[in-house]
Amino acid sequence: MRDPAIGEILVQGDELNRRVSQLGTQITADYADRSPVVLVGVLKGALFFLADLMRRLDVPCEVDFMAVASYGSATQSSGVVRILKDLDAVIEDRHVLVVEDIVDSGLTLQYLLRNLRARGPASLEVCALLTKPARSKVELEPRYVGFEIPNRFVVGYGLDHEERHRNLPFVATLRQPEPGGGSGADW
Ligand code: 5GP
């Protein structure tokens, strides 16, 4: 049964598969002479994207994770970021590819890149599953992007709302709850 909180599907499961496969091919070619590559997954939203992407890479690769929390409201980031979990690995002189779920204003990613760059990696690039170009507040173009989406709040394929809906096999908008109950309009 479809959850009434879920609105329009923006990216179907088969489109996700196809695009992740294309990104895997592209990254494999680009990193042929830059391996091993350290994939840095940003928890928790990038979980499924990272796992699927990594299985499409045909170059030596390692994986590590960071968890960050952005101060701000539930749906609006402030750009002031707290590191909840840091990398286990030392990335100095390593080739690093940050794997993000979504870039909205870009403020979180900007902070993260500044932080990682200070550790002296040999190279530092970003692969984001989703971007919202209309919302961008910073000069920052991830090297690899899965899909550009409109300015909507989305869930699924790892992305949550209050920890729910990560397990959806597609990316969909969330319907904003009405104060008196009911499933209301799309966010
Ligand atoms: P930014 O700093 O780019 O504005 O926000 C990035 C973070 O905000 C993402 O890593 C994600 O955690 C959260 N975020 C931004 N837009 C969405 C969205 O549409 N859906 C979900 N689930 N999270 C979002």
Binding-site residues, ligand 1, Cβ < 6 A = 45, 70, 77, 101-109, 153-155, 159-161
Catalytic residues: 104
- Under 8 Å between Cβ of 154 and 137: no
Q: What residue owns the CA closest to ligand 1's atom 16? A: 104
Parallel/antiparallel/unpaired status of strands 154-155 and 6-11:
unpaired
Joined together, the tokens standing for residue 1 give 């049964």
Q: What is the pLDDT at residue 111? A: 92
- Under 8 Å between Cβ of 132 and 150: yes
Class at the top of the CATH hierarchy for domain 13-150: alpha beta
Q: What is the pLDDT at residue 80? A: 78
- Ligand 1 centre to CA of 101 (Å) is 8
Q: What residue owns the CA closest to ligand 1's atom 19? A: 153
CB atoms within 10 A of CB 134: 11
Residues comprising the chain, all counted:
187
Domain ranges of the chain: 13-150
- Ligand 1 centre to CA of 75 (Å) is 7
CB atoms within 10 A of CB 183: 15
Q: What is the pLDDT at residue 184? A: 57
Q: What are the tens digits of pLDDT across the range 8-57?
A: 999 999 999 999 999 999 999 999 999 899 999 999 999 999 999 999 99
Q: What residue owns the CA closest to ligand 1's atom 4? A: 105
Mean of pLDDT over the chain: 91
pLDDT exceeds cutoff 80 at 72: no
Q: Alpha-carbon distance 175 to 101, whole Å? A: 20
Q: What are the tens digits of pLDDT across the range 125-152?
A: 999 999 998 877 788 889 999 999 999 9
DSSP 59: S
